[in-house]
Amino acid sequence: MIEAGSLIRSLSGRHAARNFHTFVINEIGRAIVSGAFPVGSVLASDAVMMEQYGVSRTVLREAVKTLEAKGLVEARPKVGTRVSPRSRWNFFDSQVLAWHFHAPDDPHFFENLFEVRAALEVPAIEGAARHRTAEHVRLMKYWLHQAATSGDGVEQFGLATLEIHSIIAESAHNTLLRSVVGVVELLLALALTRDRSGLSDYMHQASVRLEVMVLAVEKGDVEAARVALEAAMLLDRERLLAR
């Protein structure tokens, strides 16, 4: 697992401190998701990868175990480590989602992301409108202000927006709905980077829709909150898919 916001922070070239274990996981994981290591292919031998990544056998094998737990690879004696079919990948894993940021654009996959986001975040915001506390509202308004005053700061805007969606998921009183945060972060990162034209206008419109959404949650207006969220999701969808 990675910390929520790690992908957004990387947009400005700022990465979290890493160790050899996470370095190897990210290198191999990104290569698999991007297609550099195709499905069905067998990874290089331990000796080759140890030299390639500059790590010990222990570090390499722990990294492979982590990738195996995510469903990306399968290690077998005398066969090697083979890249698993996509049907076995854990797409709700935050790292697996984040690695798709580096993959070639896939409109069909983007459509899938928006379908999953709607399936999870609509119930989340309806729950938030019913169960939000004064503290939830205070935090959402704080991050709303951060988003509105971010100027052309893509990272600040992205992190503030993600925080609002995270609080919505948190206040819904349904632990499973928090899975939507990784999907939101990937879609947000894509919307902020894939097309620089009209970026300022997109950020402004997104801020306006976020404000409507937060105010509806504060009032406890379930229907208005849902409609505001759908408007925000439509903006993101048009940003990515109408190009």
- Exposed, middle or buried by CB within 10 Å (0-12, 13-18, 19+), for 116? middle
- Does the structural domain 105-241 have CATH classification 1.20.120.530? yes
* 3 state SS of 243: coil
Contact 161, 210 (CB under 8 A): yes
pLDDT digits (tens, 9 = 90+) for 140-186: 999 999 999 999 899 999 999 999 999 999 999 999 999 999 999 99
pLDDT digits (tens, 9 = 90+) for 81-135: 999 999 999 999 999 999 999 999 999 999 999 999 999 999 999 999 999 999 9
- With CA atoms as reference, report the closest residue to 93 among 186, 161, 168, 9: 186
Query: DSSP of 176-235, one letter per residue?
Result: GGGGHHHHHHHHHHHHHHS--TTHHHHHHHHHHHHHHHHHHHHHT-HHHHHHHHHHHHHH
The domains of the chain are located at 6-88, 105-241
Whether 202 contacts 110, CB under 8 Å: no
pLDDT 10s digits, 44-74: 999 999 999 999 999 999 999 999 999 999 9
- The reported pTM is 0.90
| pLDDT of 243 | 61
CB 8 within 8 A of CB 44: no
Mean pLDDT throughout 135-141?
98
Flag whether pLDDT at 76 surpasses 80.
yes
Place of tokens 């902020």: 192
Fold exhibited by the domain 6-88 = Arc Repressor Mutant, subunit A (1.10.10)
- pLDDT higher than 70, residue 234: yes
Q: Over range 212-240, report the average pLDDT.
A: 97
pLDDT, one tens digit per residue, over 13-39 is 655 546 888 999 999 999 999 999 999
* 116 Rama class: left (phi>0) / alpha (psi -120 to 50) / beta: alpha
